[in-house]
Amino acid sequence: MATPTQPEGDGHKGQLVFELGHTPAHGEADFMVGEGNALAHGRILAFPHWSEPVTLLVGPAKSGKSHLARIFADRSGAGFAGIDDLETLATQGGQGPVIVEDVDRLDYDEAGLFHLLNQSLRDGRPILLTAREDVANWPLATDDVRSRARRATAFTLELTDDIQLSQMFVKLFGDRQIRVDPKIIGYLVARMERSAEEVVLLADLMDRLALGKGTAITRSIAAHALDRRRADRGEASGQQDWDIEDDE
């Protein structure tokens, strides 16, 4: 059942918004390849012809690691390991591919991870790891896992230019079945904090603001969202720099 929520507004009451939800497109054809992720994308598509069994994808939040993991799962039949599954997977052995997401952030059993990586390196079992930080920064109690993880073939995912940021906005709005004027996307990209996570936050915020007002996403809604995000980060308002034209 849809859940009504009260959108955040400008100090006045807005209409109730029904959170209908949306399903992000995570198919192979939906992944946006750019300069900052082409090598990682190529690695996933190269499976099963990997020269080394363990692959590590490193990148900030919303950079596409989970999307690539889902593509890998579809191509290889790999299963996603839970935090308590690693020791069992290592003990059972075999060649079945395994995905271990957010290895540097979730509370995986360190001994289990060590044994799984050992089994992978010994038997050639394909393992896909994802993390936000380089191996050197993982919060590990010992260097045993670190030494094994460093043997992984590692790829970094990052946004490198305005085109990739713009493509992310197009995809996220497309997932919501929303059409947004390309000029508004260009306006956002020129003024926003440059990260994949910020694209996701802005797209969601603008969607909610537009629903609350009962309008399409306009230039003024984009400006409002940018200013709200500045406030969330404790930065000064950028209202004087909005240069808002009349919304059409």
- 234: domain CATH number is 1.10.8
pLDDT value of residue 17: 37
pLDDT at position 18 is 37
DSSP 184-196: HHHHHHHHS--SH
Encode burial over 177-208: b for 16+ CB neighbours within 10 A, e otherwise: ebebeeebbebbbebbeebbebbbbbbebbbb
Mean pLDDT (10-residue bins), the chain, 248 residues: 42 39 64 86 96 96 90 96 96 96 95 97 97 95 94 90 86 90 93 89 94 93 94 76 48
User: Within this chain, do residues 61 and 170 fall inside the same structural domain, yes or no?
Assistant: no
Residues 70 and 98 reside in one and the same domain = yes
Task: Please write the tens of the pLDDT for every residue from 168-184.
Answer: 899 899 888 899 999 99
Measured CA to CA, the distance from residue 91 to residue 86 in angstroms comes to 9
Residue range(s) defining the domain that contains residue 64: 28-156
- Residue indicated by tokens 């305005």: 162
Copy the structure tokens of residue 73: 């799962």
Bond prior to 53 in cis (omega within 30° of 0): no
Per-residue tokens: 241: 């720099």
What's residue 159's pLDDT?
74
Chain segment 183-225, per-residue pLDDT in tens: 999 999 999 988 888 999 999 999 999 999 999 999 999 999 9
Tell me, what CATH number does 84's domain have?
A: 3.40.50.300
DSSP label at 99?
A: E
Residue 214 covered by a domain: yes
Rounded Cα distance, 65 and 178, in Å: 24
Per-residue confidence (pLDDT) for residue 19, from 0 to 100: 43
**Three-state secondary structure of 114-169:** HHHHHHHHHHCCCEEEEECCCHHHCCCCCCHHHHHHCCCEEEECCCCCHHHHHHHH
- Residue 188 forms part of a structural domain: yes
Nearest CA to 16 among 195, 214, 182, 223? 214
Query: At 234, which helix (H) or strand (E)?
Result: none
Q: What is the pLDDT of residue 222?
A: 95
- Beta-strand runs (E) in the chain: 3-5, 17-19, 54-58, 79-80, 98-100, 127-131, 153-156
177 and 78 share a domain?
no
Of 118, 136, 156, which one is at a domain's C-terminal end? Answer: 156
Residue 94 three-state SS: coil
